[in-house]
Amino acid sequence: MHMEYELNKIIKIPVGLGERSYHIITGQGILGNAIEYLVPFVSGRKCLLLTDSNVGPIYAKKVSEMLREAGAEAFIFTFPAGEEHKTLETVGGICSYAVKCGLDRSSLIVALGGGVCGDIAGFAAAIYMRGINFIQIPTTLLAAVDSSVGGKTGADLPEGKNLIGAFWQPKLVLMDPEVLTTLPFKEIRCGLAEVVKYGVIMDAPLFAKLEQNTDKLNGVDLHFYTEIIAECCKLKAQVVAADEREGGLRAILNYGHTFGHAVELASNFTIAHGEGVSIGMSMAAELAVQAGFLDRAVAVRQRKLLEKLALPCKLAPGGDPEKIYAGMLKDKKKVGSRLNLVMPLEIGKVEVKSGFEPAAIINAVRCCCE
């Protein structure tokens, strides 16, 4: 798993799901040389390139031209950037535009953007004409290592995140680490929360590598990022292949997310997803320490790495633990009134635990407030 990758090497990572199998293809500069990978899926077909108002002005023209060179008839749909636009209304607008462009069941949607774009593009693809193909071209670190892989798609409701959606696997994921150079560092930092998560839940050597290379992470060393993206994608591919629909093992990928989604919701999404996950992992580790599952020194080790990457570990003043807990109860992964929470046992090992008293959860949240 842990190897040095040749500079500019194209890395192909299989996601083994039988007839739904596909490849993640990553490497520096791949967006300038991806036609051969696109041709089998897009040649002779209509493609709707979905992007947002941040990414579109930078990459939409380049990618639409690449699709046309691969033999597609390409159309572009741009929606306003931001989690607040990850709604049924946006999905409906995408589907209506697809009808206007004449997309049929042989057509496909191409997601060009971050996690929000990938989620709603996949959801639109899953429901348009009862399902058409789609391709993921993630442009954020968070989307590259997490949301673009595994087929979880969806949209938000006012009551909570991702409460509607479908499992719908892409046909291909293309990730060019060079897109990171056009991102604000805050966006990269949000992706690093998910990278740290992989180390905590299943890969202690990866966690140690991150600790030893925070300068390369903060300095956006593209060679190192290419390596890290590939390693995270391999880890997620293993989990998805073993448990596509989150019946068991895949639940470990939710480490920090039940807390984190509630933090995002309580902030009215002024706290970004990666920041919420970082705070959520800190809350989960605090609860694990208080419940006797985790040594305090390990929680401190996690906190120090997150802080070195300029990620938050506490809620700002005014955070309301009861409101966070109420938000957690809206989590779609709970069973009845029981919250299933991913608890770290050591670096590289977690377990899903339940049966926590509300007071214990609220106290852990309170300990992570300024």
Out of 231, 273, 275, 303, the active site residue is: 273
**Helix (H), strand (E) at residue 14:** strand 11-15
Out of 85, 171, 257, 303, the active site residue is: 257
DSSP classification of residue 47: E
Q: Are 195 and 253 in contact (CB under 8 A)?
A: no
Q: Residues near 3 by Cβ (< 8 Å), separated by ≥ 6? A: none
Active site residue 349: no
Out of 54, 133, 162, 254, the active site residue is: 254
Out of 19, 36, 130, 370, the active site residue is: 130
Q: 296-308 and 273-290 helices cross at what angle (nearest 10)?
A: 160
Structure tokens at 348: 């590289």
Active site residue 213: no
Q: Residues near 36 by Cβ (< 8 Å), separated by ≥ 6? A: none
Locate tokens 């499992």: which residue? 167
Phi first, then psi: what are they for 316, rounded to 5°?
-65, 160
Distance separating the N- and C-terminal Cα atoms of the chain:
38
Cα–Cα distance list, 350 to 252, 342, 345 (Å): 7, 6, 5
Active site residue 2: no
Active site residue 257: yes
Out of 68, 246, 323, 333, the active site residue is: 246
Phi/psi zone of residue 44: left (φ > 0), alpha (ψ -120 to 50 degrees), beta? left
Q: Are 207 and 259 in contact (CB under 8 A)?
A: no
**Helix (H), strand (E) at residue 236:** helix 222-242
Structure tokens at 20: 């739904």
Out of 161, 250, 264, 286, the active site residue is: 250
Out of 85, 162, 187, 194, the active site residue is: 194
Active site residue 45: no
Please spell the DSSP secondary structure of 196-208, one letter per residue: HHHHHHH-HHHHH
Q: Are 147 and 170 in contact (CB under 8 A)?
A: no
Structure tokens at 309: 């990457």
Active site residue 286: no
Out of 261, 275, 286, 303, the active site residue is: 261
Fill in the amino acid letter for 161: K
Strands 341-346 and 172-175: unpaired
Active site residue 194: yes
Active site residue 246: yes
Out of 45, 46, 85, 152, the active site residue is: 152
Q: Round to whole Å and give the CA distance between 22 and 134.
A: 11
Active site residue 261: yes
3-state secondary structure of 131: coil
Active site residue 85: no
Out of 236, 244, 264, 275, the active site residue is: 236
Where in the sequence numbering do the catalytic residues fall? 130, 152, 194, 236, 246, 250, 254, 257, 261, 273
